[in-house]
Each structure stands twice: as C-alpha cells, then as structure tokens.
Amino acid sequence: MMIIKNKAIVNDDWVVLRLAEDETPESVTVAAVKTIVPLKVWLSQKQILQNRDDIGVWFASDERPEALKDDITKFSVIAVDFPKFTDGRGQSIAYNLRERLAYRGELRAIGEVLRDQVFYMQRVGFDAFAPRPDRDLEDVLKGLTVFSEGYQISVDQKSPLFRRVARTEASSKA
C-alpha cells in the first residue's frame, strides 16, 4: 500500500489489524507479517508478541499513551486511529507519545485521515499518514504545506514565534 512518510509518497508493507466483531484481543491470531495491532491485542498477547520485531501498535482515540510507557522503545511504528476526522483526541495522544513518552519512531495517522487535517497532525508529531483509501495521495500531500509559520509551540516547534524571530510592525500599513 502507498502511504505518505516524511513528506513523500512511499510503498509500505505494514498491515493494520482491526478486530472483526467476533474476534477478541486475547484470541485473535496475529499473522506472521509486519502488523500494527490494536493496543488491546498488544496488552493481552504481550508474552508472545514481544519476541517479534515486526509488530507495531495502534491507539484508538479513547486510549491512553501511558499504557505503552514501559514498552515504548520496542516499537518502530506506532499509529493513532482517527475514527472521525473531527475527533481531536488523536492530536493529544500524538503529542503525549512524543513529548511525555519521548517516542522517536514512526508515528502514523490512520483512519479518517484527510487533506485538510494533516497540517495540524504533522505539527503534533505525526510523520506518516495513511489517508482514507478513496483519497489521492498527491492531493493529501498538498495539505502538509498550507502554512509556513505557526505561532505556538508543539512537537515540531519547541519555541514560540515570539522567541524565534524579531517581530516588528509591517512596513505597509493597512
């Protein structure tokens, strides 16, 4: 599957496991391929899964990043699911993974990921995007460059605008 990673469209071979209605986190079988599993699956099958190096974890929007506190360094991919593109909880999950748990691996947005939200997502620490399958990746890519400056600090910018630049009144008065 093609995704956006570090501002480029790349091929990607991770599979995102989503539980079917009749599956449970304890009993679902995780195939022997690179798989991003739900947090609940990781927590209940940790004994087996922790020996594999092809496992990533994804968060639902009501789950807490602290749940991975002790395991965070094991992963090269963590994903956050956006069940609706208007659900902003994933933004704080990403922020906390980066800032509070110092996660440095790939952070991927999955689910309802659309062009008009990715700029904000990249600011809070996402560096990979798996847009909704009906979307054109080239188009989504454009969403990453809509603004050239931001006022406030976040994961991508540790210093607010007022500390970074000399701010003076514009020469051309309105």
Partner 1 sequence: MYRYDQYDQQIVNERVAQYSDQVRRRLADELAEDEFRPLRLQNGLYMQVHAYMLRIAVPYGLLSAKQTRMFAHIARKYDRDYGHFTTRQNMQFNWLKLEDTPAILADLASVEMHAIQTSGNCVRNITSDEYAGVAADEVVDPRPYAEILRQWSTFHPEFAGLPRKFKIAISGGKEDRAAIEAHDIGLSVIKNAQGEIGFKVLVGGGLGRTPIVGSVICEFLPWQHVMTYIEAILRIYNQYGRRDNMYKARIKILVKALGIAEFKRQVEEEWLYAKDGPGTITNEELERVAHYFAPPAYEEITSDNAELTKFKAENKDFANWLQRNVKPHRVSGYAIVVLSLKKTEVAPGDASAEQLDFAADLADKYSFAELRITHKQNLVLADVKQSDLIDLWQAATAQGLATPNIGLLTDMISCPGAEFCTLANARSIPLAKLIAERFDNIDFQHDIGEIELNISGCMNACGHNHVGNIGITGVEKKNHDEWYQISLGGAKGHNSSIGKIIGPSFKFEQVPEVIDRLLQVYLRERIEEERFIDTVRRIGHKPFKEYVYATKIAFEVEEDIDTRSFKPVQYSVPFYSPRF
Q: Does 92 bind partner 1 (CB under 8 A)?
A: yes
Q: Collapsing DSSP states into helix, strand and coil, what is residue 93?
A: helix
Using the contact rule CB under 8 A, the part of the chain among 29-37, 40-48, 68-76, 141-149 near partner 1 is 141-149
Q: Which residue is it, tokens 């092809």?
A: 54
Q: Which residue of 6, 8, 86, 102 would you call a contact of partner 1, by CB under 8 A?
A: 86
Give the H/E segment covering residue 3: strand 2-5
CB atoms within 10 A of CB 128: 23
Q: Which is nearer to partner 1, 26 or 66 (CB)?
A: 66
Distance CA 14, CA 77 (A): 9
Give whole-number Cα distances, 64 to 9, 34, 39, 87, in Å: 29, 23, 10, 15
Q: Does 151 bind partner 1 (CB under 8 A)?
A: yes
Q: Which residue of 20, 21, 22, 173 would you call a contact of partner 1, by CB under 8 A?
A: 173
Which positions lie near partner 1, rule CB under 8 A?
85-89, 91-93, 95, 99-100, 114, 116-117, 119-121, 123-124, 146-154, 158-163, 165, 167-170, 173-174
